[in-house]
């Protein structure tokens, strides 16, 4: 039978060739029995020709779990319509499986019906093993790269990205599929973007390391077009070609934390200065109280003495002395209130005519303002009436707003300050508006924060204290939009009876 087959394949010469080649050659009859088993098959399987000839291939060479698949393939081959290529395991005599990649052909009788199956195979066990090892190695390496807390990106000599780690996806916003094949300049903002290829070409031509092997602080660009700070360390290795590898750490949060800590440090230092200033103010208030009281008493005594003599300007002199006594007592009251504010933080309320309180505050705040060319308009509502408030503290707020407005109009041509009062919906409103530069939306959100200031030498406590005073009066202080440039502050104080608001807050 074998001789007949060999004759069909070319006789003894064909036999010698089939026995010599390293390729596995096996011929099966229409029942699946081995009728030819070349030397390569014998060496690989461990079975001799005598042990193989006449046995069905799936009875001794095929793994149990693959027998059904092999038989189905054989049936298709004998039917003349099976695939030409097939891969399966061979079970060797010592039990060690081998992976064989087959190329199959159906040999036909003279009448054209399938008679034999010729299979030529290649042992790919080692190849598959190496592929599996390589795959496992790459998978392991990839798992390490993806577990890295910093982004890892590799690129070739042209700057084309070859790998893009999971952390890189997170910080840059690109999927790996979007980044691979793209140039690194995708992640670099100007001006470094335009310089990148120049730096790379210079290194490739000269070998001079300006960037390679050095850690740098640079700006990166994410998918949304936002710039952010990163720490970048670049190195290279060779894998048949030069590969650059970059380790990138997003420093946005770290820098923000450092800035917050710096802000807190500055605030604490500022608080220390404010605390010291408070102690000094309390000491000054204590030291000035007695001489001011004495000055008021002496001025009053002089006024009484002048009443006993006659001279042309006597009445004017007495009037001026009386005003002096009034202002000295007012200064004493301000100092006393400041000392109490520093020490107790309490608000002593009583009924006051709001318009009168505002007028006094305007008079004090505008001292020297006329020289600066500020035009002042007052519009005090006739129905405002009285409110329960701490006169000194409310005047402190109004004076602060007026002086801020005057400062805001130093470098503008039109210097117009408007102060008005009105009663609306259970509240008395005091408005202070100017024609200065106004505030941006971002600044408006922070105006009443402690230590926030728009002045170069400002301390950032005026508006914060003003807000705390108004809050203590169950009121509100806000800044509102104006039709033109400038700013408008509104103080809202609740309308109420004295009996309802005399308790210290």
Q: Which domain holds residue 398?
A: 347-501
DSSP assignment of 326-362, as one string?
HHHHHHHHHHHHHHHHHHT-----EEEEHHHHHHHHH
Q: Are residues 353 and 488 in the same domain?
A: yes
Q: What is the pLDDT of residues 257-266, one digit of tens each?
A: 778 767 766 6
Q: Are residues 446 and 315 in the same domain?
A: no
User: What's the pLDDT score for residue 55?
Assistant: 92
Q: What is the mean pLDDT of residues 296-307?
A: 77
CA 272 vs CA 116, 346, 467: distances in Å? 101, 22, 21
* Greatest CA separation for the chain: 162
Q: Are residues 213 and 357 in the same domain?
A: no
Report yes or no on 258 lying in a domain: no
Report yes or no on 256 lying in a domain: no
Give start and end residues of each alpha helix (H) in 101-222.
125-147, 166-172, 176-179, 192-206
Whichever domain contains 295, its CATH number is: 1.10.287.130
Q: What is the mean pLDDT of residues 177-194?
A: 85
Report yes or no on 465 lying in a domain: yes
- 304 cis-preceded (ω within 30 degrees of 0): no
Q: What is the pLDDT of residues 196-249, one digit of tens each?
A: 666 666 666 666 666 666 777 888 899 998 999 988 888 877 766 788 888 888
User: What's the pLDDT score for residue 272?
Assistant: 56
Q: Per-residue pLDDT for 505 more than 60? A: no
User: Which range among 203-212, 415-424, 471-480 shows the weakest confidence by mean pLDDT?
Assistant: 203-212
- Indicate the pLDDT class of residue 279, thresholds 50, 70 and 90: low
Report yes or no on 257 lying in a domain: no
The whole-angstrom distance between residue 422's C-alpha and the CA centroid of its chain comes to 46
Alpha-carbon span 288 to 295, nearest angstrom? 10
Residue 113, number of CB atoms within 10 A of its CB: 11
pTM: 0.38
Whichever domain contains 484, its CATH number is: 3.30.565.10
Report yes or no on 224 lying in a domain: yes
Q: Are residues 318 and 389 in the same domain?
A: no
- Indicate the pLDDT class of residue 111, thresholds 50, 70 and 90: confident
User: What's the pLDDT score for residue 429?
Assistant: 92
β-pair type (416-424, 427-433): antiparallel
Q: What is the pLDDT of residues 487-496, one digit of tens each?
A: 889 999 988 6
Report yes or no on 45 lying in a domain: yes
- Indicate the pLDDT class of residue 53, thresholds 50, 70 and 90: very high
Residues in contact with 135: Cβ distance below 8 Å, sequence separation at least 6, in sequence order = none
User: What's the pLDDT score for residue 203?
Assistant: 67
User: What's the pLDDT score for residue 115?
Assistant: 83
């Amino acid at each position: 039978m074998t001789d007949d087959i060999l004759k069909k394949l070319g006789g003894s010469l064909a036999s010698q060739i089939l026995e010599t080649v390293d390729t596995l050659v096996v011929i099966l009859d229409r029942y699946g029995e081995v009728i030819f088993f070349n030397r390569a098959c014998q060496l690989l399987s461990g079975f001799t020709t005598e042990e193989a000839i006449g046995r069905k291939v799936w009875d001794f060479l095929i793994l149990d779990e693959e027998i059904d698949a092999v038989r189905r393939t054989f049936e298709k081959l004998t039917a003349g319509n099976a695939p030409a290529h097939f891969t399966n395991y061979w079970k060797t005599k010592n039990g060690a499986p081998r992976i064989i990649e087959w190329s199959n052909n159906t040999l036909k009788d003279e009448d054209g019906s399938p008679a034999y199956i010729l299979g030529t195979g290649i042992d790919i066990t080692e190849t598959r093993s190496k592929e599996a090892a390589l795959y496992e190695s790459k998978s392991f390496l990839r798992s390490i790269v993806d577990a890295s807390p910093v982004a890892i990106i590799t690129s070739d000599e042209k700057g084309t990205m070859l790998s893009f780690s999971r952390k890189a996806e997170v910080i840059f916003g690109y999927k790996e599929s979007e980044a691979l094949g793209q140039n690194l300049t995708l992640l670099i903002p100007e001006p470094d973007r335009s310089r990148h290829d120049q730096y790379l070409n210079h290194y490739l031509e000269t070998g001079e390391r300006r960037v390679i092997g050095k850690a740098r602080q640079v700006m990166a660009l994410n998918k949304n077009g936002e710039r952010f700070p990163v720490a970048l360390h670049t190195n290279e290795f060779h894998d048949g070609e030069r590969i650059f590898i970059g380790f990138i750490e997003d420093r946005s949060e770290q820098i923000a934390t450092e800035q917050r800590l710096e802000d807190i440090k500055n605030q604490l230092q500022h608080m220390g200065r404010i605390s010291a200033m408070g102690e000094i103010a309390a000491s000054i208030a204590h030291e000035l109280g007695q001489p001011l009281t004495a000055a008021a008493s002496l001025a009053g005594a002089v006024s009484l003495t002048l009443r006993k003599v006659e001279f042309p300007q006597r009445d004017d002199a007495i009037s001026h002395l009386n005003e002096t006594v009034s202002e000295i007592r007012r200064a004493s009251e301000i100092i006393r209130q400041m000392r109490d504010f520093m020490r107790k933080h309490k608000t002593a309320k009583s009924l006051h005519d709001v318009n009168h309180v505002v007028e006094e505050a305007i008079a004090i705040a505008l001292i020297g303002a006329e020289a600066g060319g500020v035009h002042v308009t007052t519009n005090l509502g006739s129905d405002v009436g009285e409110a329960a408030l701490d006169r000194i503290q409310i005047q402190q707020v109004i004076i602060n707003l007026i002086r801020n407005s005057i400062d805001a109009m130093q470098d503008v041509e039109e210097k117009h300050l408007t102060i008005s009062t009105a009663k609306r919906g259970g509240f008395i409103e005091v408005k202070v508006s100017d024609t200065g530069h106004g505030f941006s939306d971002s600044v408006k959100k922070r105006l009443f924060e402690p230590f926030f200031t728009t002045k170069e030498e400002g301390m950032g406590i005026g508006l914060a204290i003003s807000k705390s005073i108004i809050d203590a009066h169950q009121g509100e202080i806000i800044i509102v939009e104006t039709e033109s440039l400038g700013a408008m502050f509104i103080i809202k104080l609740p309308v109420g009876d004295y009996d309802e608001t005399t308790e210290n807050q």
